[in-house]
Amino acid sequence: MAKREEYIEKEKKEKGKKLFGIFPAQYPREILWAMNVLPVEIWDPPLEVIHANAHLQPYICSVVRLGLELILQGKCEGLDGFLFPHTCDSIQNLSSIVSDYLGVKEPCYFFYHPKSPYQDSSRVYYLKQLKGLVSRLEKQLGPLDSSQLKHRVQQGQEVAHVVKQLYDLRVQGELEASNADFYRVVRRGEYLSPDDFLPLLEEFLAAAKGSAHGGPAVIMSGVLPNPKEILTLLDELGVRIAHDDLLNCSRRLLVPPSRADDPFEALTESYFAMPPCTTKDSSVSERVNDLLAKVEQSNAKGVIFYMVKFCEPELFDVPQLTGELRKRGVATLLIDSELNQNLSGQLATRVEAFVEMIS
């Protein structure tokens, strides 16, 4: 399959798709698909930070810093718009810097999703937010075809279904793919159209079915598996990431299906049934229960909290989560890292020591 840049370029030129740069994390991708937009997610572009430091203080996470850098280096010029979901304070302010201060010519959209604990008002609000987003997009992209939306919602559910099968097999130790391969494939959904992502997932599922090696299993929690070296290191140590609680993976890919006929209702129902997440203010107890369930299902021996430095939403929960897990005999490891930086020798040693402990 073509590389990310080539693929995106081709989608634009050959299929006439509009391209939107999407900042983390949760957004109704089906609406964009239905409006002939290819959402291209911006999580961890491999760049050296040159310009972004003139706009951001040193204590801001590298997801935000790299995303801004991508824009400042002019690498987003082929895009037709940006979408900023309301993920955290940093993304919130970044959205305003980009839209209000940098004078980018592409339209910027913002999507606010209600925070937990959810009430009836949250559901009503979310549904209207979806429709509100559509009407704003329609001004740029023309009217939404409701049958297209229905089709894309259905397709979104199919994608989620295959992703769930992959995760289930991993939990049961019946997927022989390495950690690195698993996440490489899963993360291609960050820019592939579902028309291409779905077959890729199916192919991978068929090819990777098989007994996983017998090493210990762990759960990985955090924002995203970057630097990738952590995955390779775990592979080398014979450790399988049997499940994850990563913001850019299971927390938003394991979308529970909905039977609702109306596509907006279906999107709403799925949204509120998603796994707990810091960026939605899920309670500590919900997160503890979710992690414990994952540990139990997969027989994992430990949880690795793989933090992006300065990520407040994640860092606040960690002490109570690790406390509760340890009380129940689950080992934990906390790693703080910057994106795209090689694993230091010291960090690798800590991972090795942890693996030794759980083996």
Neighbours of 338 (CB within 10 A): 14
The interface region with other proteins, picked from 31-39, 117-125, 141-149, 217-225 by CB under 8 A, is: 117-125
Token output for 296:
């139990």
Q: Is residue 64 close enough to count as binding ligand SF4 by CB under 6 A?
A: yes
* CA–CA separation, 19 and 22 (whole Å): 9
Q: Is residue 51 close enough to count as binding other proteins by CB under 8 A?
A: no
Nearer to ligand SF4, 299 or 316 (CB): 316
For tokens 């089906």, name the residue.
Answer: 30
SS3 state at 39: strand
Q: Is residue 63 close enough to count as binding ligand SF4 by CB under 6 A?
A: yes
Q: Is residue 84 close enough to count as binding other proteins by CB under 8 A?
A: yes
The interface region with other proteins, picked from 108-116, 201-209, 239-247, 344-352 by CB under 8 A, is: 108-116
Q: Is 356 exposed, middle or buried (0-12, 13-18, 19+ CB in 10 A)?
A: exposed
Which partner, ligand SF4, other proteins, none, binds residue 24 by CB below 5 to 8 Å per kind?
ligand SF4
* CA–CA separation, 20 and 353 (whole Å): 43
For residue 296, which amino acid is it?
A: E
Q: Torsions phi, psi of 303, nearest 5?
A: -120, 130
Out of 155, 179, 268, 279, the residue judged to bind ligand SF4 by CB under 6 A: 279
The interface region with ligand SF4, picked from 58-66, 169-177, 225-233, 324-332 by CB under 6 A, is: 58-66
Instruction: Provide the b/e sequence for 136-172 (b: ≥16 CB within 10 Å).
Output: ebeeebeebeeebbbbbbebbbebbebbbebbebbbe
Q: How far is CA 277 from the centre of its chain?
A: 11
Out of 5, 89, 195, 296, the residue judged to bind other proteins by CB under 8 A: 89
Q: 204, 177 in Cβ contact below 8 A?
A: yes
Out of 52, 61, 163, 325, the residue judged to bind ligand SF4 by CB under 6 A: 61
Q: 68, 55 in Cβ contact below 8 A?
A: yes
Q: Is residue 282 close enough to count as binding ligand SF4 by CB under 6 A?
A: no
Nearer to ligand SF4, 63 or 266 (CB): 63
Q: Name the site residues for other proteins (rule: CB under 8 A).
A: 54-57, 59-60, 84, 86, 88-90, 92-97, 99-101, 110, 112, 114-117, 119-122, 124-125, 128-129, 132, 278, 281, 283-285, 309-310, 312-313, 315-320, 322-323, 334, 336
Question: Residue numbers of the site for ligand SF4 (CB under 6 A)?
Answer: 24, 61, 63-64, 87-88, 90-91, 223, 279, 308, 311-314
